[in-house]
Amino acid sequence: MVLRLGIVSLMIGLALAGCGRKGALDAPKATAEATVSSTSDPGAVQPVAKPTPTDKPFVLDGLI
């Protein structure tokens, strides 16, 4: 009985550890705007903004 409870607890823990979103963490808005500050050099190359990926909702997102 104790072994079964331990195995079930381990399986639940592994299932919950697999939850989440894949990818890098989002940078705070203030930090992102500070890194794109303009320079006085007219020949400086401005960074190109990466297109934001579309957010695909998942069935279990309401639980988070």
**Alpha-helical runs (H) found in the chain:** 2-17, 29-35
The model carries a pTM of 0.32
Residue-wise pLDDT tens digits, 8-64 = 999 998 888 777 666 677 777 665 455 545 556 666 677 777 777 777 888 887 777
Q: Find out whether 9 and 20 touch, Cβ atoms under 8 Å.
A: no
Q: Give CA–CA dist 55/23, Å, rounded.
A: 12
The values of phi and psi at residue 44, to 5°, are -70, 140
- Measured in Å, how far apart are the chain's first and last C-alpha atoms? 31
What's residue 51's pLDDT? 76
Q: Give CA–CA dist 32/10, Å, rounded.
A: 39
61: which DSSP letter?
A: G
